[in-house]
Amino acid sequence: MSKIKVVKAIEDSQYEYSAEIANEFIEDEILSKLDEFELANDDNYIYGMATHGLFAECVARLGEMGYTEKDLKKELKIWLNTSIGQVIH
């Protein structure tokens, strides 16, 4: 096996591992708390505000990490295609 293929295999396994532990963290720590918060507020609270705020904060952080508008639109399009079978244009 060439050095390039070995490095690529290591990067792939690191990517898969990182995605797996990040997903566990998001599911266990963030989304469970977000759901609890969204459902626990009184009638004056507009449901979904915390979720929207989290989304906006994540977009800002991704921008700070170097993601471009094109990158973000691509990710949204992929998610929409795989999750609901639609694409927003």
Say how many C-beta atoms besides its own lie within 10 A of residue 63's C-beta. Answer: 13
The per-residue pLDDT for 30 is 95
Residue 26 to residues 1, 44, 45: CA-CA distances in angstroms?
36, 27, 24
Nearest in space to 29 (alpha carbons), one of 54, 46, 4: 54
Q: Per-residue confidence at 89, pLDDT binned at 50, 70, 90? A: very low
Note whether 38 and 51 are within 8 A (CB). yes
pLDDT tens digits for 24-36?
999 999 999 999 9
The per-residue pLDDT for 42 is 86
Amino acid code (one letter) for 9? A
- Residue entry with tokens 């929409």: 80
Q: Per-residue confidence at 58, pLDDT binned at 50, 70, 90? A: very high
